[in-house]
Amino acid sequence: MTLLAPKPARLTLADGARLAYRQSPGASPGVMFLGGFSSDMTGVKATALERWCRERGQAYLRFDYSGHGASEGEFADGTIGRWAEEALEVLDRLTQGPQILVGSSMGAWIMLLAALARPQRIAALLGLACAADFTRYLLWDRLDESQRDRLRREGVIRLPSPYGAPYTLTLKLIEEAERHRLLDKSKLPITCPVRLIHGMRDADVPWRISAQVAERLTGSDARVLLLKDGEHTLSRERDLAVLVRTLDELLDGR
């Protein structure tokens, strides 16, 4: 008989929405995974990290933003600011002590915003295919004029995704994200250790985005790891091996 996985736990936000999460106890610093745009906490990287942390005895937490995965809410209501605030609520209310944030794609943008907001809680950052400011170069800049006009008129359009079902793009998401752009800044006051892993064959987010982020960090302990044959998802076995090796080094202070 196949046993069903237990339902995820729920965190109720101030507006009544409930976020789904899964948490494993363990040693400090804890590891908190931040997923990408339109993805969820059941992905390959999130679950592989959970297995690895359990084997190592490290505290671990993964969750879904509102409108994603098992969490409540409509995807179309989401913005970078809202999802960043949700990440901070998860950090503040569900974790204790220092945390290493692991952010994938959009999640790496959100981990940077979280580190700026809660520097005292962040032991280190590990970004995968860091998509800081992606709403401009990956979404808005790729729309043709007819799509932009329709988005301005109707406030929402549906676009195909190479990773599964079409996703909903809202004008609110594009406009609100401008308040959280990082690459326009000359400096990002983040001093904790930062590791940014990026595939040089990433067809969505250019690897130079990770280099631009690293250049702006005020801390000196920042490294960009380029995988020459790596693509955007970084979900192959050899990609995951680099991920856990890098996390292991951060946990050991190397």
As annotated, the active-site residues are: 105, 202, 232
Helix (H, G, I), strand (E, B) or coil at 142: helix
Question: DSSP characters for 25-48?
Answer: --EEEEEEEE--TT--TTSHHHHH
Contacts of 212 (CB under 8 A, 6+ apart): 132, 183
Q: What's the Cα-to-Cα distance from 215 to each of 89, 93, 208, 226, 227, rounded to whole Å?
A: 29, 32, 10, 15, 19
Query: Among 231, 233, 243, which residue's Cα sits nearest to residue 100?
Result: 243
CB 209, CB 232: distance < 8 Å: no
| Cα separation of the two ends of the chain | 45
What the block records as the tokens of 182 is 């990082």
Query: Among 189, 218, 180, which residue's Cα sits nearest to residue 88?
Result: 180
